[in-house]
Structure 1
Amino acid sequence: MLAQNAFGSTTTSPSGGRVFLYEVSGLRQNEGTDNNAYPVRNSGSVFIKVPYSRMNEEMQRITRMGGKIVSITPLSENGAGA
């Protein structure tokens, strides 16, 4: 499997194409969430697709916004559950 690394070149890393679905609850609306491409609700869960290479940054961002990660599910390359 081929993917691009941070420098734009192609890599054969097995983690290159992996995507995970985060189920997040408790996000609150603030200036950080106003710029998101998806709506935020206090009462329900939000599902966010995250590439393997950005998992750590996304966890930190969710925590800063007051959210709690309920579950992390790996997705296959075509977007369906594994």
Structure 2
Amino acid sequence: MFGQTMLGRANLSDSANRIFSIEVEGLRQSDASDRLSYSIRNSGTTSIRVPYSRLNEEMQRINRLGGKIVGVKAAS
């Protein structure tokens, strides 16, 4: 039982330190992005790197800005 708990904690800390790459298509300027101090370009695809702890938040932000998530993969 003790070994299983320690193993679970080790896996949790490993995943917390992982970086993921989100491939996004069609980010565009919108009402939400107008409030930013920089413009969002409308391009084919772009890649955004985020830590695991911010992955869900960043995916929601991309959807709000009108982008389409093409793929998500662990960055090496």
Count of aligned residue pairs for this structure pair = 64
CA distance, structure 2, for counterparts of residue 28 and residue 67 of structure 1 = 7
- Higher fraction of strand: 1
Q: Sequence identity of aligned pairs in percent?
A: 53
4+ residue segments displaced more than 6 Å = none
TM-score of the aligned structures, taking structure 2 as reference length: 0.69
Q: Which moved more, 1:60-69 or 1:41-50?
A: 41-50
TM-score of the aligned structures, taking structure 1 as reference length: 0.64
Q: Is the 8 A contact 1:22 1:69 kept in 2?
A: yes
Q: Which runs of 5+ in 1 are unaligned?
A: 1-10, 77-82
**3-state DSSP of counterpart to 2:41:** coil
Which has the higher Rg, Structure 1 or Structure 2? 2
**3-state DSSP of counterpart to 1:40:** coil
